[in-house]
Amino acid sequence: MKITIVGTGYVGLVTGACLAEMGNHVLCLDLDASKIRTLQSGDIPIHEPGLLEYVQRNAAAGRLQFTTEVEQAVAHGTLQFIAVGTPPDEDGSADLKHVLAAARSIGRLMADYKVVINKSTVPVGTADKVQQAIDAELAARGVKLPFAVVSNPEFLKEGAAVADFLRPDRVVIGADDERATLLMRSLYAPFVRNRDRIFVMDVRSAELTKYAANAMLATRISFMNELSRLAERVGADIELVRQGVGADPRIGLHFLYAGAGYGGSCFPKDVKALAKSLTAAGVPSRILDAVEAVNESQKHVLAEKVVARMGEDLSGKVFALWGLAFKPNTDDMREAPSRTVIAELARRGARVQAYDPVARDEAAKAMAGQERLSFADSASAALAGADALVIVTEWREFRTPDFAELERALKHKLVFDGRNLYDPKAMAAFGLEYHCIGRPSAAPQTST
Ligand SMILES: NC(=O)c1ccc[n+]([C@@H]2O[C@H](COP(=O)([O-])OP(=O)(O)OC[C@H]3O[C@@H](n4cnc5c(N)ncnc54)[C@H](O)[C@@H]3O)[C@@H](O)[C@H]2O)c1
């Protein structure tokens, strides 16, 4: 099939590459000329495991192309995916300006039947607005052309996006139009060959399903983070609690880790947007307001632990910081908890030497002007001259560090771990003072 993807970011690029992999002819549009230049030169502008190979293979086969030309993009695909950003508006609701701009371009330039597919995460009612925007453009042109608007929210996870797209646990298609539904089913059939996981539903239910999924996951995390504070006060271990709770199949073990707060391009904005939708519909948003408030305070928990141990004034102190991206296997810095931690430590006069396996460039952009932040080339190099280590993102390479080196390198033998990577008893045995989340902290066996 001929497919256009409008918006070649994390979602658009993965969608385009994976659809091309199945033999479709895909044209990816973006208004960001530098992104398109990078893609046309055979590279990719983001870090996503496995993606480069898919992009290069399909580009070489002529099935995946990139453009900044809106006219060419609208002409190309019978299926027009909208995968542009939907950032929070000033009041927290989803800002639809990019989605509607894409819709208007399609209405202004289309010359034959189109299926316009909302892949961006958008509130209930957006498909109607897209329909109206296209109708208005067609009316202004004085033409009548057939088209359908479909909701097809995306559930991929950054860091595992290619695998998720190729083997989705579900494909949600919200469509009221039979021809469009058939086209969507054919498009996704290769991805669900072993077991049908396509859920066809009305457009509004599809739109709500995406927000409901993200809000549920965020709720689990905030719930565990709140319990981790109780565990610390009463001398329980949240890790043991997690395993005991998660063993119940009605609950399950996923997304129950206490930590330094959730971040990323989706949970924070989607929780806010769903909360706004609830209040706008006259339903008090009690749960989601609490989920967000708990997360905001949790992003400060690591800095609070540092202050509780080392005092309010951190001037002259140097912190090694491991992990900048909002989660492992991505370079995405949007709403990353590391930003809050670094801002707090810097505000109190400390210097931070940060290391991340891939997010250095994005972090430098996101925290441009933060003079107290510098970047190291390795986890070891970040330790040079540091008083203490703060761990914010659980990259695999941090899971078994050289503990003897940590003990030697850190002036105060202090580790603040926002991801509970280590066994507190083992840390004490290595001569390290270990502060983690929702578990008793451990003092070194040898005094320093
Ligand atoms: N990132 C994720 O993990 C993820 C997962 C599921 C759903 N989503 C949703 O998918 C949508 C896209 O997210 P993303 O992370 O890929 O965003 P992104 O910011 O990485 O990419 C969006 C791209 O759209 C481009 N763009 C904006 N307006 C345009 C226009 N009119 N024409 C062409 N290009 C335009 C931007 O330049 C940018 O490159 C959002 O609604 C998001 O909530 C994201």
Name every protein residue with a CB atom under 6 angstroms from any ligand 1 atom. 6-12, 29-32, 35, 83-86, 98, 101-102, 120-121, 154, 156, 158, 265-266
Six-digit token pair at 410?
């850190």
Give strand ranges (E) for 133-289: 147-151, 171-174, 198-201
For 87-126, the pLDDT digits (tens) are 999 898 999 999 999 999 999 999 999 999 999 999 999 9
Do 171 and 165 meet the contact criterion of CB atoms below 8 Å apart? no
The pLDDT, as a whole number, for residue 447 is 46
Out of 47, 84, 267, 327, give the residue to mutate to test ligand 1, the one with the largest number of ligand atoms within 8 Å of its CB: 84
The pLDDT, as a whole number, for residue 446 is 54
Q: How many angstroms does the Cα of residue 95 sit away from the middle of ligand 1?
A: 12
Residue with CA at minimum distance from ligand 1 atom 19: 85
What are the C-alpha distances in Å from 400 to residues 112, 266, 421? Answer: 58, 30, 9
The pLDDT, as a whole number, for residue 442 is 82
Active-site positions? 266
Residue with CA at minimum distance from ligand 1 atom 25: 7
The pLDDT, as a whole number, for residue 353 is 98
* Sheet of 198-201, strands arranged across: 64-67, 25-29, 2-6, 79-82, 114-118, 147-151, 171-174, 198-201
Q: H helices of 82-122, where?
A: 97-109
Contacts made by residues 136-144, CB under 8 angstroms, sequence distance 24+:
136/104, 136/107, 137/104, 137/106, 137/107, 137/108, 138/107, 138/110, 141/108
Six-digit token pair at 106?
């399609």
Q: How many angstroms does the Cα of residue 62 sit away from the middle of ligand 1?
A: 24
Contacts made by residues 226-234, CB under 8 angstroms, sequence distance 24+:
226/294, 227/258, 227/438, 228/258, 228/437, 228/438, 229/301, 229/438, 231/258, 231/438, 231/439, 232/438, 232/439, 232/440
One-letter amino acid at 396 equals R
In whole angstroms, what separates CA 83 from the centre of its chain?
A: 14
Strands 198-201 and 64-67, how do they pair? unpaired
Distance CA 198, CA 189 (A): 9
State whether residue 118 is helix, strand or coil: strand
**Which residues of the chain fall below pLDDT 70?**
445-448
Name which of 381, 390, 374 is nearest 436 in CA terms: 390
Q: Which atom from ligand 1 is nearest to the alpha carbon of 94?
A: 41
